[in-house]
Amino acid sequence: MVGKQEEHVFPIEYLKDFSTKVFMHFGVPEADAKEAAEVLAKSDLRGIDSHGVARLHSYFDMLTLGRINPNPDIKIVREKFSVATVDGDNGLGLVVGPKANEIAMEKAELYGSGWVSVCHTNHFGIAGYYPLKALERDLIGWAMTNTTKLVAPLWGAERMLGTNPIAIAFPGYKEPPIVIDLATSAASYGKLEIARRKKAEVPRGWIIDKDGHMTTNPDEMVQGGALLPLGSERETGGHKGYALAAMVDILCGVLGGANWGPFAPPFALRQEIPARSVGKGIGHFFGAMRIDGFIDKDEFKKQIDEWIRVFRNTQPAPGTNGPLIPGDPEREAEAIRSKQGIPLMKPVVDDLLDISQKTGIPFEVK
């Protein structure tokens, strides 16, 4: 979001072009590099700043050190009609993800639905990107991924699970689609970092300190504490967020033979490497379903329109404008940013300039 900090605005095409060239610099084939840049761009367009070019330097680091394979041989290692496991050969998640999602969508077109667990992959950007691709083919798409440990299970005092997101989208007829994309933690690490920068407290229910006590001081989470799962405490449903994170971890990690739980390898250099490996890379899980295998496609979309209108007409809670439809804020950000460009904060611009300097790929700040 646009803050008060110094920031520069860049056209999305300029950022996409830069990201593409950076990936190609490391030997990522052009089509893959473009796809990867597209995933990052979608995040910036949709206002999810933490997952866009702000992460390019982390991918750059991993590629520089040879910890990610720029030209992976991505293949199906096992399958049975509508289901499969894909080995990503340690490629960029931004490359492996779209390919595995494509396999799920092809299976859906053939068999009514397609479900793909992925091992030996890396962080894949925003989960919401994948169901958006499914919408283009009139499919209901799902995406999940496990991620580096940050979240404590309920009644645990240490990081054991990632923020493990779940995404799914449903197309409307005249209304825009419903796009759900949520981390299974109470709050994101990004929000915590914002609070730290502002030297602000965070709401109770977000974090614990290194001994497992609830705290509102974000520094205490960073120094060996953990995020809490969605629902936070037992009495407000923290066991439910923990169970959802576990579900994602098992579908993405255990089912496809990837690392799971605390053993998911790190995304960035600053994160510690787990002492133990129980599989290959991290894991994703993609699903796609043919709407017309269940119901007439237009009938479904028209009912979704009606669903949206009915929920928009909910009596608003005091001090609010009433409920949003999942996907509203991201779509509104995309409408604005695709015209006005992407605002990047100074540390992100500095990161891109650093990449530019090290690779010789021009990056200009006007």
CA distance 86 to 351: 33
Instruction: Specify the 3-state DSSP secondary structure of 314.
Output: coil
CA atoms of 122 and 119, how far apart (whole Å): 9
Q: Which of 28, 207, 230, 355 binds a second copy (CB under 8 A)?
A: 230
Cβ proximity to a second copy, 70 vs 128, nearer residue: 128
The CB-of-35 to a second copy minimum distance in angstroms stands at 25
| Phi and psi angles of residue 257, each rounded to the nearest 5 degrees, phi first | 80, 25
Distance in Å, CB of 4 to a second copy, minimum: 20
Find the shortest distance in angstroms from Cβ 233 to a second copy: 8
Task: Return d(Cα 111, Cα 251) in angstroms, integer.
Answer: 20
Evaluate the CA torsion angle 47, 48, 49, 52 in order and state its sign.
Answer: negative
For a second copy, which stretch binds (CB under 8 A), given 6-14, 49-57, 94-102, 257-265?
Answer: 257-265
Site track for a second copy across 139-178, x = CB under 8 A = -x-----------xxxxxxx-x-----x-x-x-------x
User: Closest distance between a second copy and the C-beta of residue 155, in Å?
Assistant: 4
Task: Return the closest-CA partner of residue 27 out of 61, 81, 67, 69.
Answer: 69
Q: How far is CA 108 from CA 112, 136, 201, 274, in A?
A: 5, 13, 46, 36
Beta carbons of 250 and 89 less than 8 angstroms apart: no
Which residues in the 5-24 window bind a second copy by CB under 8 A? none
Residues 323-352 that bind a second copy (CB under 8 A): 323-324, 326
Q: How far is the CB of 216 from a second copy (least distance, A)?
A: 12
238's CB contacts (< 8 A; 6+ apart) are 154, 186, 228, 229, 230, 231, 232
Query: Residue 60 belongs to what H/E stretch?
Result: helix 56-64
The Cα 57–Cα 37 span in angstroms is 13
Among 10, 23, 115, 363, binds a second copy (CB under 8 A): 115
Stretch that binds a second copy, among 9-17, 38-46, 47-55, 81-89 (CB under 8 A): 81-89
Residue from 3, 13, 30, 81 touching a second copy (CB under 8 A): that is 81
Is 207 one of the binding residues for a second copy (CB under 8 A)?
Answer: no
Which of residues 92 and 118 has its CB atom nearest to a second copy in the complex?
Answer: 118
The answer to whether the CB of 102 falls within 8 A of the CB of 117 is no
Q: Footprint of a second copy on residues 264-323 (CB under 8 A)?
A: 278-279, 289-295, 299-300, 303-304, 306-307, 310-311, 314-318, 320-323
> Residue 47 CB, nearest distance to a second copy (Å)?
14
Give dist(CA 68, CA 121) in Å, integer: 9
Residue 82 in contact with a second copy, rule: CB under 8 A: yes
Q: How far apart are CA 6 and CA 242, in angstroms?
A: 38
Min separation Cβ 144 and a second copy, Å: 12
| 203 is a site residue for a second copy (CB under 8 A) | yes
- The whole-angstrom separation of Cα 95 and Cα 48 is 19
Is 31 in a helix, a strand, or coil? helix
| Residue ranges in 51-80 that form contacts with a second copy under rule CB under 8 A | 78-80
| AA identity, residue 295 | I
In the complex, least distance from residue 181 CB atom to a second copy, rounded to whole angstroms: 8
Q: How far is the CB of 295 from a second copy (least distance, A)?
A: 6
Q: Which is nearer to a second copy, 204 or 358 (CB)?
A: 204
Work out which of 190, 237, 274, 341 binds a second copy, going by CB under 8 A.
Answer: 237
- C-alpha–C-alpha distance, residues 162 and 148, integer Å: 5
Taking the least distance from each CB to a second copy, the nearer of 20 and 163 is 163
